[in-house]
Amino acid sequence: GIQVEQSPPDLILQEGANSTLRCNFSDSVNNLQWFHQNPWGQLINLFYIPSGTKQNGRLSATTVATERYSLLYISSSQTTDSGVYFCAVDSSNFNKFYFGSGTKLNVKP
């Protein structure tokens, strides 16, 4: 199956700092999503972005499908941004999503 690598695995930020999370994948994809898993375990949809750029408030994402990577930008981080960020991709017609191992973000006040 498709390989999904996320970096960095762990990230500690001071509140107000900016960060970039990366997702590399080994094959062309039909679907790509970014999720935030909060401390209670709920997966929250951030972006559905198989290609292009999207923005939502302090968050934005860019997927360069031809180069097989996606970036998630977090600006002016807040303590509520803490949690694990997952990238998930699907390269098949069967909608089988492969998840990266996640980036664990800790934003300190």
Residues from 76 through 95 that contact other proteins (CB under 8 A) = 86, 88, 90, 93-95
Nearer Cβ to other proteins (18/28): 28
Nearer Cβ to other proteins (74/88): 88
Q: Is residue 109 part of the contact set for other proteins (CB under 8 A)?
A: no
Q: Is residue 63 part of the contact set for other proteins (CB under 8 A)?
A: no
SS3 64: strand
For residue 50, give Cα distances in angstroms to 12, 65, 77, 95, 103.
28, 7, 25, 13, 19
Give CA–CA dist 93/69, Å, rounded: 20
Using CB atoms within 10 Å of the CB of residue 36, give its burial: 0 to 12 exposed, 13 to 18 middle, 19+ buried: buried
Closest separation in Å from C-beta 35 to other proteins: 8
The residue count for binding other proteins (CB under 8 A) is 22
Run of H or E residues at 7: strand 4-7
Interface residues with other proteins (CB under 8 A) are 30-31, 33, 35, 41-43, 45, 48, 86, 88, 90, 93-102
